[in-house]
A and B are shown apart, each in its own frame.
Chain A
Amino acid sequence: MNLVATTERFGNFIIFTTEQWGRSWIFLYRTLVALIKPPYRPFLYLQQLLMIGVNSTLVIALIGLFTGAVLAVQGEYTLAKFGATAYTGPAVALSLIRELGPVLTALMLIGRAGSAVTAELGIMRITEQVDALRSMAVDPIKYLMAPRLAAGLIAMPLLCAIFNVVGIFGGYCVAVGLLGLSSGTFMSEMTSAVGLVDVKSGFIKSAVFGLIFGWVSCYKGYTCGFGAQGVNKATTQSVVTASVAVLIVDYFLTSVLTRVFMD
């Protein structure tokens, strides 16, 4: 009897998870189709770019500045053991461009804007605003989701670029200004070590993370449960799911991109 109940619970869990997985992929497909199909509402896209992208710039730049500064301190400390402090510049720049820039930008954007997107859509859902759109023959996927997904896709790589530039500046200030490294060494070693493939790799990662950001935060808001607890749960799930997905996808992307660009 116990075994039957356990098997049933396990079976229900598998069915539920498979259903959710399938629904989320259909949701992504419908949103991507909605992005392409007219009518286009440029104002909605600009509004979301402002909310998700422009309004996140300051916090992303601030995090980038201190990440670069920390990398310079840690890099110099480690490299000094091998007598290789001249490579502090490349260490800072490569770490930021290839890895920390895309990942930290994604995690910050998920925390700052992803939670807001999910909460906003969730509240719209529980207050029947989404139903109101449908009753007025307006597709909520096109009206609400497509602009947010597009804003995530566009804003993430741009914010990542800002993160990288400000981060390198932070690393430069600390390495040259505080740790006494020569400015010429920092810059020349960095420019000779960083190639276009590194920038491409970081760009591809941040574009994929932008898609994950928009997909998860919109889907969780759109499928939000009832009441304040439903919004609370959806927002938490959105941040956790998107953050974990970014880190998992990051590993696979890094493996693939390193191999592709090395070849």
Chain B
Amino acid sequence: MISVQNVYKRFGSQVVLDGVSIEIEPGKTTTVVGPSGVGKSVLLKLIMGIMSPDAGEIYIGGDNITKAKSEASKNEIRKQLGVLFQSAALFDSLTIYDNIAFPLLERSGLSASKAHQKVLAIAESLSLGPYLSNYPEQVSIGIRKRVGMARALITEPKILLVDEPNTGLDPLDGQEVYDLINACKNQWGFTGLVISHELPEVFQVSERVAMILGGKIIAEGTPAEMIASTDPAVQQFLNGRTDGPIKIQ
């Protein structure tokens, strides 16, 4: 569904991605884990086509987004994507209702009445009914994440990208977001790519896990395989130890 092939990205003299290749299988949720600053979010932005790689190719559902020349052709590929951003990235000037309706009205061409029905239906599914007339700053971060999820899923994308799902959340809100991802996956059946450094909590939404370090994918497998991995870097990261091959910067 998503194929990242030998992707390189550097900022000045700093090499962020050094030949990353990863296959995201259809219908499954893959999580890319790794310490802060190793290029996980850069990988996500490359997949969204917001950044361009220095070398390598990225296919989204068979379409090569790295070869798309214009913003319009990238937009066509992006229509397959829904994105839940780290801070939800809701539009401050719009109500929660308008935030959810936004992608529907902007890119689906639905009539206002049909869009209204869809917004109410997804708000009902995600228990957002009481908050629809509020502005994002008037609700908690947990609810903002739910709104972000509703906005990402309302166009029924084939692929959901999730950036650091529970950053800044307390354990209860964090768990709620994981439950939300699983519930939405059961209901809408998307292919998922999650970026996270929350281990082992993120394993509950993952069918595959890849660990990125030093600009490369150093380990890949199911959550159980990762836990059983003998790679010292994987073990150090999983167990949150400061001693080991991963140097704290």
Contacts and interface: CB of A to CB of B under 8 A. Distances in A.
A129 B83 contact: no
A127 interface: yes
Contacts of A128: 85-87, 89
Interface stretch (A135-143, A185-193, A201-209, A237-245): A135-143
Contacts of B86: 128
A49 to B, nearest CB: 15
Interface in A123-155: 124, 127-129, 131-132, 134-139
B48 interface: yes
Contacts of B102: 136
A134 B44 CA distance: 13
Interface string B74-115: 011011010101110111100000000011001100000000
B243 interface: no
Contacts of B248: none
A129 B148 CA distance: 11
Interface SS, B side: mixed
Contacts of A135: 48, 50, 78, 81, 83, 161
B45 interface: yes
A124 B136 CA distance: 13
A139 B102 CA distance: 13
A21 to B, nearest CB: 20
A131 to B, nearest CB: 6
Q: Which of A127, A129, A131, A136 has the most CB atoms of chain B within a 10 A radius of its CB?
A: A136
Contacts of A131: 45, 48, 50, 85, 89
A135 B79 CA distance: 8
Contacts of A137: 75-76, 78-79, 103, 106-107
A137 B73 CA distance: 10
Contact of B103 (A124, A127, A136): A136
A136 B106 contact: yes
Nearest to B103: A136
B106 A138 contact: yes
B47 to A, nearest CB: 10
B194 to A, nearest CB: 15
A127 B50 contact: no
Contacts of B106: 136-138
A138 B89 contact: no
A137 B76 CA distance: 7
B61 to A, nearest CB: 14
Contacts of B107: 136-138
A131 B71 CA distance: 13
Given A131-B45, A131-B48, A136 B78 contact: yes
B75 A139 contact: yes
Contacts of B83: 132, 135-136
A78 to B, nearest CB: 49
B159 to A, nearest CB: 11
Contacts of A129: 89-92
Contacts of A136: 78, 83, 102-103, 106-107
Given A137-B75, A137-B103, 18 more contacts: A128-B86, A128-B87, A128-B89, A129-B90, A131-B48, A131-B89, A132-B89, A134-B48, A134-B49, A134-B78, A135-B83, A136-B78, A136-B83, A136-B103, A137-B76, A137-B78, A137-B107, A139-B71
Interface of A: 124, 127-129, 131-132, 134-139
Interface of B: 45, 48-50, 71, 75-76, 78-79, 81, 83, 85-87, 89-92, 102-103, 106-107, 161
